[in-house]
Amino acid sequence: MSITVKDVQHVARLARLQLSPEEEATFTEQMNAILRYAEKLNELDTDNVKPTTHVLQVSNVMRDDVVKDSLSQEEALLNAPEDEDGHFKVPAVLE
């Protein structure tokens, strides 16, 4: 598999990029170099390597949801600098 200048032009058009002919040639060469390097991975013997989805073992560190009592509206507003009609009152940020 290789990338052609036409492929680079197509991707550039999708990304709404205007590339000079020199940039198209440079990117074509660079992308092909990347593909050649990635193809080297096919030379590896992976017969005894178990398939993985992560390099590191990942475990869920989130706790289970537990329903518990929360603050009442009055308690939540207790330290508010200002409140109005049961809501936090903050300075306007839009005019």
pTM higher than 0.85 for the full model? no
**Residue 57 pLDDT > 90:** no
- What pLDDT is stored for residue 49 in this prediction? 86
Environment class of residue 10 by beta-carbon count within 10 Å: exposed (0-12), middle (13-18) or buried (19+)?
exposed
Strand ranges, E, within 1-95: 83-84, 87-88
Q: How far is CA 63 from CA 9, 59, 69, 71, in A?
A: 49, 12, 17, 21
- What pLDDT is stored for residue 11 in this prediction? 96
Q: Which residue has the tokens 């207790």?
A: 78
